[in-house]
Amino acid sequence: MPIFDLSNTPLRELNSALHALSQGANDTEFEVVNPRGSHAVAVGIDSPVTVAVRGSVGYYCAGMNDGGRVTVHGSAGPGVAENMMSGTVVIEGDASQYAGATGRGGLLVIKGNAASRCGISMKGIDIVVHGSIGHMSAFMGQSGHLVVLGDAGDALGDSLYEAKLFVRGEVKSLGSDCIEKEMRPEHLEKLTELLERAGVTGVRPEEFKRYGSARKLYNFNIDNADAY
């Protein structure tokens, strides 16, 4: 198992080694120690490798992940798992701003809290936050699921498209065109699956409320013509 100590190894060596992996490679378990808040740790993974990061990371950890499983045993700075394509990213601590931004697929699990703009412009990623999320989360979310066991900050789901939002606690306020929606059997089923994949136990899907788009904003409405 390759171990990269970022206190004495340049970050580029780690990321180059991850990018050099080919399908069927034997070294599929990487460990990163002493990340000390480094930026861009394990970005651009494109194979089913497992990476354990022992400590807290800075900006853009596991960005663009395509098929890897990255676990951060600490907290993550802004933009963790930004534009993830597939795979799994788990943050054992908290995540800063815009976690999972623009993500197209895969699963992002944050075991602590996430700050503002979590899941902004999400396009297919599934995000499960064990704690609470900050303001403007899921802004312009297009598809995918955002599941929050705690509370959501101001303007949740502002200008939302078709991302589905599930919040168990309080929502401080909903953004423009975001409304509470009926929880139907297919939603409970999806929620059950996501909670299980995110390692959540002792929480029933019925405890959540579902929020989605009122669909009044994202199609052109002739009555609003004067506003342009």
Residues 100 and 79: beta-carbon distance below 8 Å: no
Q: Closest Cα partner for 70 from 83, 78, 54, 79?
A: 54
How near is the Cβ of 102 to another protein at its closest, in Å?
16
Q: Which of residues 106-145 bind another protein (CB under 8 A)?
A: 115-116, 134-135
Q: Is 36 in the site for another protein (CB under 8 A)?
A: yes
Number of amino acids touching another protein (CB under 8 A): 16
- Torsions phi, psi for 15 (to 5 deg): -65, -35
Q: Do the Cβ atoms of 52 and 35 come closer than 8 Å?
A: no
Do 98 and 120 form a contact (C-beta atoms < 8 A)? yes
Span near another protein by CB under 8 A; candidates 17-25, 74-82, 157-165, 185-193 = 74-82
Using the minimum distance from each CB to another protein, give the nearer residue, 21 or 129: 129
CA–CA separation, 224 and 8 (whole Å) = 59
Query: Does 159 help bind another protein (rule: CB under 8 A)?
Result: no
Other beta carbons within 10 Å of 112:
16
Between 115 and 191, name the residue whose CB sits nearer to another protein.
115
Which residues contribute to the site for another protein (CB under 8 A)? 36-38, 56, 58-59, 75, 77-78, 94, 96-97, 115-116, 134-135
